[in-house]
Structure 1
């Protein structure tokens, strides 16, 4: 099993700063230059190119740790696709969410082909156009559209797949479904999300 990159290992900046930069970039619609400016206001002088390298190196590892923390999804998934253009070529971006609106997986592909579950699987994929069934999936595309406009261009399908696979868990972890909670419940959920992030990304593990 490939070992995940460790933000504590041979880096000039503490892991807390590295993870915070990655969190800012993926939790909000910010550019690397925006994150550079926000860190500079706190007295942390780091270039936007360094922030870009941190995101490429650690985002997927951080997202994998958050996925392990997610509750087990239900057997019914909802699928929806949007069209994105990469270097002038049209691609399909599929996103699967469970009944609670949690993004479970994303897939960027050049053809409109849906991979159905095997016969042994109890999982059901709903690809209907019912507004009720697909509303949560369609809403989950909105942060991607915002980020796509912010990035201005995506260089390759591989870059899109890597970025969106990492962004989904990090963004959703940082944005609980506020409309389903009271203000007090939301604050508790938000505090728990902050604590989990610190535990998973900033605490050095002893091997």
Structure 2
């Protein structure tokens, strides 16, 4: 495992890892693997042992819960803009033995607009997601949804209250791109066998989504410079 030679400049991350007692390079490698690949925590424990690093699977989980939210916040400041035509859909996520809802949007090219895990699937949850996405990327020209009454009501209420000129479309066919994109997230979290708490689910899912966006090339990098996804992820810490 090659050293990353990172110089930590992120003050928030510095505070987070202060008492974790492992080199940053090892923690970041474990956290990236956990966010990027369909591996269980015990898989990671075995993989690190093969590399001469003794670390308990519960410790890796603790690293992910602490580090991923910090890197996600940094990524949001470096995220590229998206197209003005959004496709929005939600999928089911098992949390504490109950189904919760992961709202997601992608643009017409399949680039991720934003995501939000909610406890309910209703107008209030949908509107919260739309407002969060608009705060990050400004208002889109078009929003395409399925026949969900909650999503329809949320978009119409948002348009009425804000005066935004957004075209609302309802089309199952046009939403295939976001439904297909759900698969990458589902494939990653399947080995996790669900989450124990809503709090933990939000943090881990944020890291999974961030790594997914980096792989799509959605992180701003110097023009003309091709940087591997792994190095882009590690650069969020410095």
TM-score w.r.t. the length of structure 1 is 0.76
Residue 8 of structure 1 and its aligned partner are, at CA, apart by 5.9
Residue 16 of structure 1 and its aligned partner are, at CA, apart by 0.9
Residue 63 of structure 1 and its aligned partner are, at CA, apart by 1.8
Contact 2:95 2:198 in 1 (8 A): yes
Contact 2:93 2:194 in 1 (8 A): no
Question: Which secondary structure does the structure 2 equivalent of 1:163 belong to?
Answer: helix
Tell me how far apart the structure 2 counterparts of residues 148 and 33 of structure 1 sit (CA, whole Å).
Answer: 14
* Equivalent of residue 121 in structure 2, options 77, 86, 111: 111
The corresponding residue for 2:80 is 71
The corresponding residue for 1:184 is none
The corresponding residue for 2:229 is 193
- Provide closer, same or farther for how the CA distance between residues 46 and 95 of structure 1 changes in structure 2, counting only shifts above 3 A: same
Contact 1:65 1:200 in 2 (8 A): yes
- Provide closer, same or farther for how the CA distance between residues 8 and 54 of structure 1 changes in structure 2, counting only shifts above 3 A: closer
Tell me how far apart the structure 2 counterparts of residues 157 and 49 of structure 1 sit (CA, whole Å).
Answer: 18
Contact 1:77 1:98 in 2 (8 A): yes
Measured against aligned partners, the alpha-carbon deviations of 1:135-188 in whole angstroms (never above 9, x if no partner) come to 331122113322443111222333332321221012331x337xxxxxxxxxx8
Question: Which secondary structure does the structure 1 equivalent of 2:196 belong to?
Answer: coil
5 Å-filtered alignment, 1:146-157, equals: 146-157=187-198
Tell me how far apart the structure 2 counterparts of residues 196 and 86 of structure 1 sit (CA, whole Å).
Answer: 30
Contact 2:36 2:211 in 1 (8 A): yes
The corresponding residue for 2:13 is 5
Question: Which secondary structure does the structure 2 equivalent of 1:12 belong to?
Answer: coil
Contact 2:38 2:189 in 1 (8 A): no
The corresponding residue for 2:139 is 122
The corresponding residue for 1:36 is 45
5 Å-filtered alignment, 1:165-204, equals: 165-173=206-214, 175-176=215-216, 189=226, 191-201=227-237, 203=238
* Equivalent of residue 70 in structure 2, options 44, 54, 61: 61
Tell me how far apart the structure 2 counterparts of residues 198 and 90 of structure 1 sit (CA, whole Å).
Answer: 32
Residue 44 of structure 1 and its aligned partner are, at CA, apart by 1.2
The corresponding residue for 1:181 is none
- The answer to whether 1:134 aligns with 2:175 is yes
Contact 1:106 1:164 in 2 (8 A): no
**Structure 1: which 5+ runs fail to align?**
178-187
Tell me how far apart the structure 2 counterparts of residues 147 and 134 of structure 1 sit (CA, whole Å).
Answer: 21
